[in-house]
Structure 1
Amino acid sequence: MSYIYNPKTKGSGIITAIPQKGRCPNNCEDCFFQNGRSYLEPLEENLPNMPSKEQARGMVVRVNDGNDSNNQQAFVIEACKKYDHKFYNTSMPIYLDHFDAPVVLTVNPGNLVDKNFWKIDTPPKNLMYVRVLTNTWNAENVKNAVAFYTKKEIPTILTFMAYHDHLTIPFEHRTHYILRKRTINEYFAIKRSSFLRIMSQFKENPLVFSCGNEGITSSCRFCGNCLREYFATVERMKK
């Protein structure tokens, strides 16, 4: 099976890896890996999708851009031992310190998106950053998550949701979204003006960043969050 590159990470110094077969068991709504629009479709034929050690040389491996690293955690860790530089992704707030490398935690996955978020009272050293899923109607939840984690000196990345079905967007918020291409597919994604308005609320907080630059580019090439926080976390883990 030939490795398939994630077009979002092209030219960024990041390469992606998914060790597991099949779909992620979390079944988070609006995950593009769950709605049949992934660059790896058909998943039954293209997973696992693992770069060789040579392909990953000199790059940072993002483990599980389309699954959860706490799904078969021991298997995932073993499968990725060959990579010199890697970080894991999970939306499960468990066993984070069991990972042998930095880990990113999505704190408001699935049904929590608008309502609540996972709270890690004592973050482990290898917690690279927390990802907060963001839209125009979950402002209170986002603010609470940002306050909780940045007080603990944990970098917080706002990832703006995009929707393939505009009917899933509350009627009164549809004016904040526009149909546009993100990487390879069209989605109803946040308008730049609304994105800037939300981000402006955190401009005085040096620990808050956005995943990509909505309305301009979603490419990892022009972001840099993961590389910056990966190496900062590796340095912290040495202490």
Structure 2
Amino acid sequence: MTGYIENPKTRGSGIICCIPQAERCPMECEECFFQSGRSYLEPLGKNLPNMPTLEEVGHRVVRVNDGGDSGIRFHQVIRDTKKYPLKFYNTSIPQVLDEFPAPVVLTVNPGERTDKHFYRVETEENLKKLMFVRARVNTWNGPLVDKIVEWYSAKKIPIVLTFMAYYKQPIPELYQRNYIYRIRTSNPYWAITTETWDLIMRLYAHNKWVHSCGKIEGEEGTTLCRFCGNCLREFYATMERMKGD
């Protein structure tokens, strides 16, 4: 293992990332940047775990598992991140939500669920800890995204739309016009165009609970965290909600 390596996406944003686990994520979600062999932490065998010191963290909020899942090796993850005073966890495993000691981001349609199903969180205890839910979005799973938005808006939980970028998986021919081959943070992908992103976001323009991951997607925008602010805003809002626990 080498020294800490900063995620270029979160640089300068007030967020710093960590991954406590030492192995590739077993969830194997399609088109996850962490699974592609091209992430900023390759080779994983050399660079995991990737844990900043308290001095490196400084004033920043720690995002636990920018690659991987905080529900995997759960007790180790909680133990190894206990030292960070400000943190939130990423997971796609709703069964462990009530055990997290800090705010949680839940990906509700991970892996094979991307176009088909989503997790519905119902209990008040679990909803209280949700910073937001992350919906994986492409241009052919709109009906599912509508259901996600309807469900979590009714629960007063923010929904962050994360627009899928494709490297290995072919895009259906009917939807190829909605994507352009471009650099996204560090590597080239088939990623959504700004025009198509804008059309999708307009569908939810009057829903205060819906946000895009990244200020502007596509060739005219950026997904760098310093221009976004979703995580910091919702982290502190969730900390307020969790007061008294």
TM-score after normalising by structure 1: 0.98
1:135-174 to 2 correspondences below 5 Å: 135-165=138-168, 168-174=170-176
1:61-140 to 2 correspondences below 5 Å: 61-123=62-124, 124=126, 125-140=128-143
How far does residue 32 in structure 1 lie from its aligned partner after superposition? 1.1
Distance 1:232 1:56 in 2: 21
Q: Name the residue aligned to 1:14.
A: 15
Distance 1:97 1:105 in 2: 12
How far does residue 3 in structure 1 lie from its aligned partner after superposition? 0.2
Distance 1:62 1:88 in 2: 6
- Say whether residues 1:237 and 2:242 are aligned partners: yes
Q: How many residue pairs were aligned? A: 238
- Say whether residues 1:226 and 2:228 are aligned partners: no
Secondary structure class of the residue paired with 1:94: helix
Query: Can you list the C-alpha shifts for 1:64-114, whole angstroms capped at 9, x where unaligned?
Result: 011100001111011001101000000111121211100000000000000
Q: Where in structure 2 are there 5+ consecutive unaligned residues?
A: none
**Alignment RMSD (CA, Å):** 0.8
Query: Can you list the C-alpha shifts for 1:135-163, whole angstroms capped at 9, x where unaligned?
Result: 00000000000100010000000000000
Secondary structure class of the residue paired with 1:136: coil
Secondary structure class of the residue paired with 1:193: helix
Q: Where in structure 1 are there 5+ consecutive unaligned residues?
A: none
Secondary structure class of the residue paired with 2:183: strand
Structure 1 consecutive aligned stretches of length 4 or more whose deviation exceeds 4 Å: none
Q: Of 194, 197, 206, which residue of structure 2 is paired with 1:195?
A: 197
**Residue type at the aligned position of 2:213:** C
**Residue type at the aligned position of 1:193:** E
Secondary structure class of the residue paired with 1:189: strand
Q: Name the residue aligned to 2:6.
A: 5
Distance 1:222 1:131 in 2: 18
Distance 1:189 1:76 in 2: 32
Q: Name the residue aligned to 1:42.
A: 43
How far does residue 202 in structure 1 lie from its aligned partner after superposition? 0.3
Secondary structure class of the residue paired with 2:39: coil
Q: Which moved further from structure 2: 115-124 or 183-192?
A: 115-124
